[in-house]
Amino acid sequence: MMLAAMNTPLRHWQGRRIWLIGASSGIGAALAQAMLAAGAQVVLSARRADQLHQLAGASPAALVLPLDVLDARAWGPAYRHILDSGKAVDLLVFCAADYRPEHIWEVSMAAAEATLRINLGSVYGALETVLPDMLARGHGGIALVASVAGYMGLPLACTYGPSKAGLINLAENLYGDLRPKGLDVYLINPGFVKTGLTEKNHFFMPALQTPQQAAAAIMRGMEKGQFEIHFPRRFTSIMKLLQWLPYRWRFALFSRFLKTS
């Protein structure tokens, strides 16, 4: 029983309706392409409509739905548009994010607040929007893209790291509340992935993956019914082990291997 899948294994993608928020670039765009190729119906949301249309191409299974996740008034009309187009959402994937590498003395309150609102606060708008319908149907799934930066305090992640730690905690709360009601919850913790966000880093990023590799790992994890989907394992498993080290040893390792000053 302890080895059973924590979520219902996702046996097929054909016809499954997915609302992918943060789909215009990086992991979100790669995931959209992979899910469309697997036969899913994907609603593509982000602020940049032109990139969404380019991603959708001529696919009849793609619905472009521009959305600013910080606009509280936009969530309701966006969801009604999805329902009016013919089918409710089977899976919500939230991967909208912002990141700026910075030491703590470089952080401003305004910039930190903006990052926290995008990475963590806006998720509650998505949950408020889709959960009533999913709970009424007793069917659906929520996937939150966090990061291994949420495992512990990493260098230059003074705002990004806490926002992802909050997502990890939220996913754990969601699982406790929603799984008994028939809903699936996925916590996605990527390592370093080559995107526009990580291009801001000027330090060595071990086990760097492509967005396509990340998308494949996420879909495999969902197909297996995993709760936490973390990758690449050769890196994320080490990060998990580091969590068990005394702080003195952990900080010493960081200063040795991550030259960020």
| Domain presence at residue 91 | yes
Structural domain count of the chain:
1
Distance of CA 189 to the CA centre of its chain: 8
Element (H, E) at 163: helix 160-178
| Residues spanned by the domain of 120 | 17-257
Supply the mean pLDDT for the chain: 92
pLDDT above 90: percentage of residues in the chain: 77
In the structure, what pLDDT confidence band is assigned to residue 85 with cuts at 50, 70 and 90? very high
| Domain presence at residue 116 | yes
| Domain presence at residue 10 | no
What tokens appear for 30 in the block? 């790669």
Distance of CA 196 to the CA centre of its chain: 15
| Domain presence at residue 11 | no
| Domain presence at residue 12 | no
The pLDDT score that the predictor gives to residue 2 is 61
Sequence letter at residue 90: D
| Domain presence at residue 24 | yes
| Domain presence at residue 5 | no
| Domain presence at residue 133 | yes
CATH of the domain at 236: 3.40.50.720
If we measure between CA atoms, which residue out of 120, 106, 96 comes closest to residue 19? 96
Task: Judge contact between 22 and 31, C-beta under 8 A.
Answer: no
pTM of the full predicted structure? 0.93
Helix (H, G, I), strand (E, B) or coil at 109: helix
pLDDT tens for 113-162 read 999 999 999 999 999 999 999 999 999 999 999 999 999 888 888 999 99
